[in-house]
Amino acid sequence: DVKVTQSSRYLVKRTGEKVFLECVQDMDHENMFWYRQDPGLGLRLIYFSYDVKMKEKGDIPEGYSVSREKKERFSLILESASTNQTSMYLCASSFHLGTSGASYEQYFGPGTRLTVT
Amino acid sequence: GQQVMQIPQYQHVQEGEDFTTYCNSSTTLSNIQWYKQRPGGHPVFLIQLVKSGEVKKQKRLTFQFGEAKKNSSLHITATQTTDVGTYFCAGPRGNYGQNFVFGPGTRLSVLP
């Protein structure tokens, strides 16, 4: 059974702290993603990685960085947490590009609800 | 930038009624995907449409991809309480993009 796991379901941090969110997938997927989900805004892409040590900025990368040292693991780092980063963070993974216009489905982890006080 | 919009934002229906959500992209899409997120859960892939005008069915769910490949719809016939959740459409960035732009979702409530 395919699996994407995230290090914490709930996290409470203080303003200014450095925060690490970890994501691990066991499906040998090339692509991994970090999203944040806020009511009414859907899923917004923070960063995307298509290979080890490779990353691309998404729509809202400001205040975040990522690390992918191994294929199965993708970390999201909040360098100095702020209250406006309180949100649900979702990790996802997928295989690389499909053929004939098709893409591969994304598998999501259970999410980490981060509260910054 | 590329945008994906969905309407309505919320829909409340009586159990047994039909439901439709619409998805519109600002650009032509090579494919479109649909996901469902149950309350308290994470998004789960439902289906992908690739061809212009394509229609696919999954039991009571019917998915359609527009002729111009810029819009899509999801129709649920005779809703059940198990259909409750938020339905997202997502389109790849650019041509054959590796990552997706998600719509804001339509939250469906089903009253028993």
Nearest CA among A22, A21, A29, A23 for reference residue A2: A29
Using pLDDT thresholds of 50, 70 and 90, give the confidence band for residue A100: low
- For the domain covering A4-95, report its CATH number: 2.60.40.10
- Does A105 contact B at CB distance below 8 Å? yes
Residues of B in CB contact (< 8 Å) with A are 1, 9, 30-31, 33, 35, 41-45, 48, 50, 88, 90, 92, 96-105
- Does A23 contact B at CB distance below 8 Å? no
**Between chains, do A97 and B88 touch, taking CB under 8 Å as contact?**
no
- For the domain covering B4-111, report its CATH number: 2.60.40.10
Residue A45 CB partners (closer than 8 Å, separation 6+): A33, A34, A35, A58, A59, A60, B99, B100, B101
Between chain A and chain B, the number of residue pairs with CB atoms below 8 A apart is 66
pLDDT digits (tens, 9 = 90+) for B58-102: 999 999 999 999 999 999 999 999 999 999 999 988 655 678 999
Residue from the list A58, A101, A107 with its beta carbon closest to the beta carbon of B96: A101
Q: Where are the domains of chain A?
A: 4-95
Portion of chain A with pLDDT greater than 70, in percent: 93
pLDDT digits (tens, 9 = 90+) for B10-64: 999 999 999 999 999 999 998 999 999 999 999 999 999 999 999 999 999 999 9
- What single DSSP character describes residue A71? T
Output the pLDDT for position B99.
83
Output the pLDDT for position B1.
78
The answer to whether residues B110 and B83 touch, using CB atoms and an 8 Å cutoff, is yes
The answer to whether residues B96 and B78 touch, using CB atoms and an 8 Å cutoff, is no
